[in-house]
Amino acid sequence: MASFPYFSQGTVVKGFGRGSKELGIPTANLPEEVVNQLPSHIDTGVYYGWASVNNGPVYKMVMSIGWNPYYKNTVKSMEAHLIHVFDDDFYGSNLKVCILGYLRPERGFSSLEELKTAIFNDIENGKTKLDEESNQKYKDHEFFLS
Ligand code: ADP
Ligand code: RBF
Ligand code: MG
């Protein structure tokens, strides 16, 4: 699609404590200023792409772009789950993301277990997409070089 890749970066901020880490799926949240820069063609939903922390290694990631109900649906959030196990939290670090494609719309779930299953499914779908040659090349994009 013509709207991708979409490159974005910002300082990792605290999210709103809905406990994604407890789900085993921590998400690094980008600040509001960064979310507000999103072009209108990037709709809410679930995306896949590449990400790095403080110009370190580039990892596969899946991202949720959506409205935070705690902010009365006026604040959109961007949260990335990097497909890598980190030894420590990285709040305050620079997060770079290269969004390459759309997976599905955001939806409601009747249980946390269903949400978790959907996200694990997104991770598998994202990984498969990112293995395609047309997406692999962005891992080495100059955007990720400090
Ligand atoms: P919050 O609500 O503050 O965003 P989370 O439970 O979503 O809390 O945890 C997010 C934090 O976990 C990130 O800001 C980051 O510091 C840390 N983290 C550790 N591993 C990862 C990972 N693989 N992907 C994203 N964030 C991670
Ligand atoms: N939240 C939803 O309410 N509906 C979704 O469909 C949804 N999909 C997500 C997909 C991915 C890949 C990720 C990382 C998060 C998703 N979330 C979704 C957000 C999730 O609810 C959030 O990370 C936790 O609630 C903690 O804030
Ligand atoms: Mg989070």
pLDDT of the residue at 75:
77
- The residue whose CA has the least distance to atom 27 of ligand 1 is 26
Q: Is 79 a catalytic residue?
A: yes
pLDDT of the residue at 122:
98
Let me know if residue 30 belongs to a domain.
yes
Q: How far apart are CA 45 and CA 105, in angstroms?
A: 4
The domain containing residue 38 runs over which residues?
A: 6-131
Q: How far apart are CA 46 and CA 121, in angstroms?
A: 11
pLDDT of the residue at 22:
75
Q: How far apart are CA 58 and CA 51, in angstroms?
A: 5
Let me know if residue 140 belongs to a domain.
no
Q: What is the mean pLDDT of the chain?
A: 92
pLDDT of the residue at 72:
59
Ligand 2: residue of 64, 104, 111, 121 to mutate (most ligand atoms within 8 A of CB) is 64
What would the pLDDT profile of 17-43 be if each residue is shown by its tens digit?
Answer: 766 777 889 999 999 999 999 998 898
Query: What CATH code is carried by the domain that includes residue 24?
Result: 2.40.30.30
> pTM above 0.75?
yes
Let me know if residue 10 belongs to a domain.
yes
Ligand 1: residue of 86, 95, 119, 122 to mutate (most ligand atoms within 8 A of CB) is 86
pLDDT of the residue at 71:
59
Q: How far is the centre of ligand 2, averaged over its atoms, from the C-alpha of 142 (Å)?
A: 29
Let me know if residue 139 belongs to a domain.
no
Q: In what order do the strands lie in the sheet with 59-67?
A: 6-11, 94-104, 45-53, 59-67, 76-82, 28-29
- Burial label for 131, CB within 10 Å (0-12, 13-18, 19+), is exposed
Let me know if residue 40 belongs to a domain.
yes
Report the number of distinct structural domains present in the chain: 1
Report the range of poorest mean pLDDT among 40-44, 48-52, 69-73, 138-142.
Answer: 69-73
Let me know if residue 137 belongs to a domain.
no
Spell out the long-range contacts of 129-138 with Cβ–Cβ below 8 A and sequence spacing 24 or more: 129/48, 129/100, 129/101, 129/103, 130/48, 130/49, 130/50, 130/60, 130/100, 135/100, 135/101, 138/5, 138/49, 138/50, 138/98, 138/100
Q: Which atom of ligand 2 is nearest to the CA of 25?
A: 14
Catalytic residue among 22, 32, 33, 79: 79
- The residue whose CA has the least distance to atom 3 of ligand 2 is 108
What would the pLDDT profile of 110-137 be if each residue is shown by its tens digit?
Answer: 888 898 999 999 999 999 999 999 999 9
Let me know if residue 72 belongs to a domain.
yes
What would the pLDDT profile of 56-98 be if each residue is shown by its tens digit?
Answer: 999 999 999 998 665 556 778 999 999 999 999 999 999 999 9
Let me know if residue 53 belongs to a domain.
yes
Question: Is the minimum distance from the CB of 71 to ligand 1 under 6 angstroms?
Answer: no
Q: Which atom of ligand 2 is nearest to the CA of 46?
A: 10
Q: How far is the centre of ligand 2, averaged over its atoms, from the C-alpha of 115 (Å)?
A: 7
